[in-house]
Amino acid sequence: MRQWGEQWITRLDELGMPLYVSDDAEKYIRIENYANQYPEISSIRYYSTAGEPALTDLPHQENENVPRLAPHVLDDLASATSERSTHLIERIGHEQPLLRISKPIWTESLSTDGLLDFDLTDESAVTRTLVGFVELTLDYTSYRTSLSKYFLLGGIGCLLALLLLTSASWYVYRRALLPLSQLQSSLEELAKGHTDIKVEASGHTEIKAVADALNTTIAALNERDKKLWNMANHDPLTGLVNRHRFEELFKEELDGIALHETTSALLFLDLDQFKYVNDTVGHAAGDRLLKDVARRLENIVGETGVVSRFGGDEFLVLISDIDRDDIEAICQQFVQNLREHIFLENGESFAVSCSVGATIVDKTGGSHTDLLAQADLACFQAKALGRNRVQLYEASETGLRRMAIELSWSQKIKAALRDNLFVLHYQPIVDIYTGEAVLYEGLIRMQGEHGELIPPSAFLPAATRFGLMTQIDEWVIRNAIKDLGEYRARYGDIRFSLNVSGSFFASQKFVHSILNSLEREGVPLEAVVLEITEQVAVASSGGADQRMAELVQQGLKFAIDDFGAGYSSYNYLKTLPVNYIKIDGSFIKELAGDEVDRAIVDSICQIAKATGKKTVAEHVQDYDTMEILRSLGVDYAQSYLLGTPSETLEQEPAQVYSPSETKKTSRTA
């Protein structure tokens, strides 16, 4: 506006000159035509040198909002300078802002008329005279209105552009980012262990491929978790729920009974002829018999309860919401169904029967351990009364006393585990020819209230009955391997033989627990022999050799304990990767006077040699028996005669020959 105003007032200076020096009739028209070209021009005023209006007929001359130039302003314009470019710019008005530009009007004349001697550089030859003033007022309200209009239109345009950009961004998000966000949320859930999700994805092919891969992974994880859960909660042979899972379900049943005041029944079932089947046609046939029995029990129970394999040939059955009067009838149904079942194997038929103990489960029945003990006691009574029958638990004085004793032992065992009241003693297993200790068997004892040592025969039956054997085995493994590490640091190549129960051997943490203890104490695997009974090996069946082979490949060794007292099947000795066969002491005690025992021991030694296994004779009571064992080819012996269990290791060789013998033989083990 300033620049335009300066241009316009300069032009008006030129156009207004005739107002002062001539009577040109067109002078108003020229000024008005020029002013009309620019709507920004609000008014034009010409003043005389005295400050009076020089024109009265110019339409643009008067504007009520524009005061006339004050005399002192005119004086300033006249006296400031004589140059044409001199002008005054000021803002006037508030409600309607105006810009006023004022300028003096000068005329110029030559002071001489000599043309030949005229000098253009001589300023004194030109005379300048002030003839008046011109005032130009510019109104830029229209610009402000237009600017506001443009701002409004621009704001609307920006808003529309923003909405368009938002829509485009949302489309891009839906197209690209949203599938990634869905993948992120799915991955977060998966990282938390939640596998009950399905990844939904759309958009690019790559994202769909990632989603498909995640869904495949989730499906594999769910399948793996399902298999692990089944393995942890079901018996691998029969597919029935195992003891651990049964106890969980039983506790849930007790909670429901307390809430709804219903009545259930707990049955303890034991097969009567299972051992005979195993001894006659082998453990593989026994496994098939257990599977048959499991299916029959499930068919009888149906949807009204749950069947569990308690261990070996024992089963637990929980029947929900049953009247007291119907309990004995359904127990008889179990007995009758199995009695009618004829098991066929290799052309031989075997009659199957069972003994059933039952107890009523209601809100007054006690804890789950009490009820298990009651059913177990009732089954024991059924077997004592001739087997193949049903016995309901009755709270007799004898039964209550026996159950109280067993519960008392279970509490003592838990206290011993909690307060570390168990003690390990070690008995040497010696070379039958040199007396040198080749192994030391770890034997557990419990400290009594007065410091006395309680033998395992007193508390292990209760531990087995109440499911505490796994915890005891873990304690033995952990502490024995710790002792072994210390003894090996002191004495060199010392090796331990440790017993493990069937429940621990069948558990999922069996291998992990042993390997962790060995690694923690820095003990090599070949320094440990694990003893399992025939019953444990046979009951584990197909899984036993795989579980054992996993450790044997790494250097661990196994021994079959009490061989001959159980199934006495030589067949599985060919497949089970055991290194030692411990001959049960019942064949050793009367070895000197019993030809049958001698024949049995001889056959065991022959099989052991043929399969590359070492033999250990248990409970050797005299030196005559030692001599017979040497003649039969037995490798090692273990008994109080050769070394008593002690908290410290006996390092001196045991006496393996009679003191009266003058000639001793030796042999390298």
Q: Which helix (H) or strand (E) holds 255?
A: helix 243-260
Q: How far apart are CA 551 and CA 456, in angstroms?
A: 27
- Count other Cβ atoms within 10 Å, centred on residue 20: 17
Tell me: do 365 and 291 sit in the same domain.
yes
pLDDT at 662: 42
Asked if residue 666 has pLDDT above 60, the reply is no
Q: Looking up tokens 């990767």, which residue turns up?
A: 577
Shared domain check, 535 and 391: no
Q: Which of residues 529, 548, 578 is at a domain's end?
A: 578
Among 129-133, 196-200, 345-349, the least confident range: 196-200
Q: Are 198 and 221 in contact (CB under 8 A)?
A: no
Burial 591-621 (b: 16+ CB within 10 A, else e): beeeeebbebbeebbebbeeeebbbbbbbbb
In a domain, 653, yes or no: no
The pLDDT of residue 665 is: 47
Query: pLDDT by residue (tens digit) across 48-93?
Result: 888 888 765 555 555 666 788 888 888 888 886 545 447 788 887 6
The answer, yes or no, to whether residue 200 has pLDDT greater than 80, is no
Q: Is the same domain home to 256 and 376?
A: yes
Q: Which of 120-124, 201-205, 308-312 has the highest mean pLDDT?
A: 308-312
Cα gap 237→247, rounded to integer Å: 19
Structure tokens at 579: 């290194």
E-strand ranges in 196-282 read 264-271
Do 115 and 148 share a domain, yes or no?
A: no
**pLDDT for position 25:** 63
Judge if 115 and 52 occupy the same domain: yes
Q: Is the pLDDT of residue 588 over 90?
A: yes
Band the pLDDT of 442: cuts 50, 70, 90. very high
Both 25 and 108 in one domain: the answer is yes
Residue 104 lies in a domain: yes
Q: How confident is the model at residue 572 (pLDDT cuts 50, 70, 90)?
A: low
**Chain centroid offset of residue 657 CA:** 61
Whether 661 maps to a domain, the answer reads no
Least confident of 165-169, 257-261, 617-621, 665-669: 665-669
Q: What is the pLDDT of residue 259?
A: 86
pLDDT of residue 525: 93
Mean pLDDT on 23-40: 75
Question: For the domain that residue 48 is a member of, what is the CATH number?
Answer: 3.30.450.20
Does the pLDDT value for residue 542 go beyond 50?
no
Are 441 and 531 in the same domain? yes
pLDDT, tens digit (0-9, with 9 covering 90-100), for 118-143: 565 666 666 778 888 888 888 777 77
| Average pLDDT, integer, range 524-534 | 91
Identify whether 667 is part of a domain.
Answer: no
In this predicted structure, the answer to whether residue 584 has a pLDDT above a threshold of 50 is yes
Q: Which two tokens stand for residue 269?
A: 């079932």
Quote the pLDDT of residue 667: 45
Report yes or no on 655 lying in a domain: no
pLDDT (0 to 100) of residue 412 = 92
pLDDT of residue 445: 96
Are 619 and 585 contacting, i.e. CB atoms less than 8 angstroms apart? yes
Percent of the chain with pLDDT over 70: 83
Domain of residue 419, CATH code: 3.20.20.450
- Predicted pLDDT of residue 219: 80
List beta partners, residue 427.
Answer: 441
- Is the pLDDT reported for residue 151 higher than 50? yes
pLDDT level of residue 96 (50, 70, 90 thresholds) = low
What rounded mean pLDDT belongs to the chain? 82
Which of the four pLDDT bands, split at 50, 70 and 90, describes residue 293? Answer: very high
Length of the chain: 669
Can you read off the two tokens belonging to residue 490?
A: 């002191």
**Per-residue pLDDT for 668 more than 50?**
no
Here the CATH number for the domain that contains residue 307 is 3.30.70.270
Which comes out higher in pLDDT, residue 448 or 51? 448
Q: In the listed set 104, 139, 174, which residue is the last one of a domain according to the structure?
A: 139
Q: How many angstroms separate the CA atoms of 561 and 533, rounded? A: 5
Section 221-232 average pLDDT: 79
Residue 647: inside a domain, yes or no? no
Cα separation of 355 and 137, whole Å?
124
* For residue 536, pLDDT beyond 80: no
Look at the chain and report how many structural domains it folds into.
5
Tokens linked to 238: 């029969």
Beta-carbon count within 10 A of 157 CB? 11
Q: DSSP for 331-350?
A: HHHHHHHHHT-EEEETTEEE
Task: Tell me the mean pLDDT in the region 250-269.
Answer: 90
DSSP at 388: S
pLDDT at 567: 53
The verdict on pTM exceeding 0.85 is: no
Query: Does 53 fall in a domain?
Result: yes
Indicate whether 418 and 541 sit together in one domain: yes
* CA angle, 164 then 169 then 171, to 5°: 95
What secondary structure, in 3-state letters, does 87-113 show?
CEEEEECCCCCEEEEEEEEEEEEECCC
Contact predicate 634/605, CB 8 Å:
yes
Question: Which entry of 313, 431, 483, 597 is annotated as an active-site residue?
Answer: 313
Within a domain: residue 92? yes
- 3-class secondary structure for 601-654? HHHHHHHHHHCCCEEEEECCCCHHHHHHHHHHCCCEEECCCCCCCECCCCCCCC
In this structure, what DSSP letter does residue 173 have?
I
Q: Is 584 a catalytic residue?
A: no
* Domain closes at, from 183, 208, 233: 233
Range of the domain at 502: 408-578
Cβ–Cβ < 8 Å for 513, 474: yes
Question: What is the pLDDT confidence band of residue 233, given thresholds at 50, 70 and 90?
Answer: confident
- Same structural domain, 370 and 247: yes
> In whole angstroms, what is the distance from residue 357 CA to residue 366 CA?
17
- Does residue 384 sit in the same domain as residue 449? no
The C-alpha atoms of residue 306 and residue 239 are separated, in whole angstroms, by 12
Comparing 472 with 108, the larger pLDDT belongs to 472
CA-based torsion, 324, 325, 327, 330: positive or negative: negative
**With 60 as the cut, is the pLDDT of residue 619 above it?**
yes
Instruction: Clarify whether residues 437 and 567 are in a common domain.
Output: yes
Q: Identify whether residues 537 and 595 lie together within a single domain.
A: no
Query: Which range has highest mean pLDDT (19-23, 206-210, 213-217)?
Result: 213-217
Pick from 352, 358, 354: nearest CA to 383: 354
Confidence of residue 629 (pLDDT cuts 50, 70, 90): very high
